[in-house]
Amino acid sequence: NAVSSGPIRTAAAAGIPGIRKMIQQSAQCSPLPRSVSTEEVGEACAFLCSPRAAAITGTTLYVDNGYHCVGGDFSLEQENE
């Protein structure tokens, strides 16, 4: 299994060129127009590790407010942050 969160504001992500733009775009264009928290991603991971997910295998669990459903794509253009 895999968890795909999309862009999240973290200390590690701060070094990614254009991350602020990606976070903003994801939050604005998702069916649930808000940012995803690290806690929400952690809860999804905990679920996959729990007995409640015992029959789930070989899947990607998207924790991105539905951004992947709308065909979201991020430009690779760098921005000055």
Tell me how long the chain is. Answer: 81
Count of beta carbons in the 10 Å neighbourhood of residue 29: 15
What's residue 75's pLDDT?
59
Q: pLDDT tens digits for 7-29?
A: 888 898 889 898 888 888 888 88
Predicted TM-score (pTM) of the model is 0.78
Tell me whether residue 36 is exposed, middle or buried, using C-beta atoms within 10 angstroms of its C-beta: 0 to 12, 13 to 18, 19 or more: buried
